[in-house]
């Protein structure tokens, strides 16, 4: 097992709180199998929150009133609703860890609702926009003078488009996770949840081309996507999430699609097409790797045009 990411507390944090946060960190990474970046974010918020609350807060001695006052103070300071929601998520995860240590008391969040997410319009790719970006990447990859980098980029974008995986899930894909003959891939998802995602024939074709014509010329590694620019063994996979972010940004801008170009945007057209074709939302939930159906419902909002079409058909 690889070493766990280190956590360096501030010197002003009391020793007992430091010990509690370190134990929580290890639990979150090894037992809950949360991603290192998520755990780091939670620790940052927990440290600030628990220090601001009365002494002993880290042992579970937080009253709903104290937490409510703290959230109201933060809101008055101009802290965003999103940040306050993350604080509540972090505290909820912390209390779940406390129950593993023998804590049997209540959680203050049982009586406090987390701040609501601001009602903003999502900015996601429409299927046609995602296809336009992917088409541009394909044209670049199939040119006679295409670089390995361009070929690599096209294969990554094809997986995002036709499998709906998260950025972190693409990064950890291994060669033996693929089963092209049965058209499926094993995905190591969030929270240690492993799922099997079926592969569309078009993606099988792209991946077979990648394995035959591209992958042998990339750095030797057990990872499916080995960075063409890698020079040393520790960097043979896409160890930096920024790599995929740069790929989506580069081709999104080149295709002149007006939308924030981030890897997560690619999950929307994948899921939207599933829903439009009549796939049950519970199956979509499994394909996307959501632990809670409510996440799928929020994430998979239908476009306004779809709603107009539904009303027109119902009363036409």
Catalytic residue among 25, 261, 265, 267: 267
Active site residue 267: yes
Strands of 184-188's sheet in order across: 178-179, 184-188, 194-198
Active site residue 313: no
Active site residue 290: yes
Instruction: Point out which residues pair with 174 in neighbouring strands.
Output: 223
Which distant-in-sequence residues (6+ apart) come within 8 Å of 48 by Cβ? none
Left (φ > 0), alpha (ψ -120 to 50) or beta: where does 278 sit?
left
Catalytic residue among 290, 294, 308, 313: 290
Neighbour-count burial of 266, counting CB atoms closer than 10 A to its CB (0-12 exposed, 13-18 middle, 19+ buried): buried
The residue length of the chain stands at 316
DSSP E strand stretches across the chain: 178-179, 184-188, 194-198
In 10 A of CB 294, how many CB atoms?
10
Tokens matching residue 252: 């999104």
Catalytic residue among 149, 264, 286, 301: 264
Active site residue 242: no
Catalytic residue among 190, 195, 249, 301: 190
Catalytic residue among 166, 167, 215, 268: 166
Active site residue 166: yes
**What are the angstrom distances between the C-alpha of 240 and each of 131, 172, 246?**
25, 11, 10
Indicate which residues carry an active-site annotation: 166, 190, 264, 267, 290, 299
């Amino acid at each position: 097992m690889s070493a766990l990411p280190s956590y360096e507390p501030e010197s002003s944090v009391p020793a007992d709180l430091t010990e509690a946060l370190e134990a929580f960190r290890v639990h979150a990474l090894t037992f809950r199998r949360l991603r290192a970046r998520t755990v780091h974010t939670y620790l940052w918020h927990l440290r600030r929150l628990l220090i601001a609350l009365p002494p002993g807060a880290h042992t579970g001695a937080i009253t709903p009133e104290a937490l409510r006052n703290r959230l109201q103070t933060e809101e008055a300071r101009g802290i965003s609703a999103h940040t306050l929601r993350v604080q509540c998520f972090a505290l909820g995860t912390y209390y779940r860890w406390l129950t593993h240590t023998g804590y049997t008391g209540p959680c203050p969040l049982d009586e406090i609702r987390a701040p609501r997410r601001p009602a903003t319009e999502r900015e996601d790719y429409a299927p046609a926009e995602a296809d336009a970006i992917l088409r541009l990447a394909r044209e670049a990859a199939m040119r006679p003078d295409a670089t390995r980098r361009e070929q690599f980029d096209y294969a990554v974008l094809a997986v995002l488009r036709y499998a709906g995986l998260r950025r972190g899930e693409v990064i950890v894909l291994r060669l033996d996770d693929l089963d092209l003959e049965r058209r499926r891939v094993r995905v190591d998802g969030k929270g240690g949840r492993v799922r099997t995602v079926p592969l569309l024939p078009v993606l099988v074709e792209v991946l077979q081309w990648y394995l035959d014509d591209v992958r042998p010329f990339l750095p030797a590694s057990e990872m499916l996507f080995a960075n063409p620019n890698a020079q040393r063994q520790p960097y043979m996979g896409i160890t930096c999430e920024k790599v995929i972010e740069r790929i989506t940004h580069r081709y999104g801008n080149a295709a002149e699609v007006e939308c924030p170009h981030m890897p997560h945007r690619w999950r929307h057209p994948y899921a939207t097409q599933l829903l439009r074709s009549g796939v049950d939302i519970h199956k979509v939930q499994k394909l996307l790797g959501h632990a809670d159906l409510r996440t799928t419902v929020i994430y998979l909002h239908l476009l306004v045009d779809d709603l107009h079409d539904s009303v027109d058909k119902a009363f036409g």
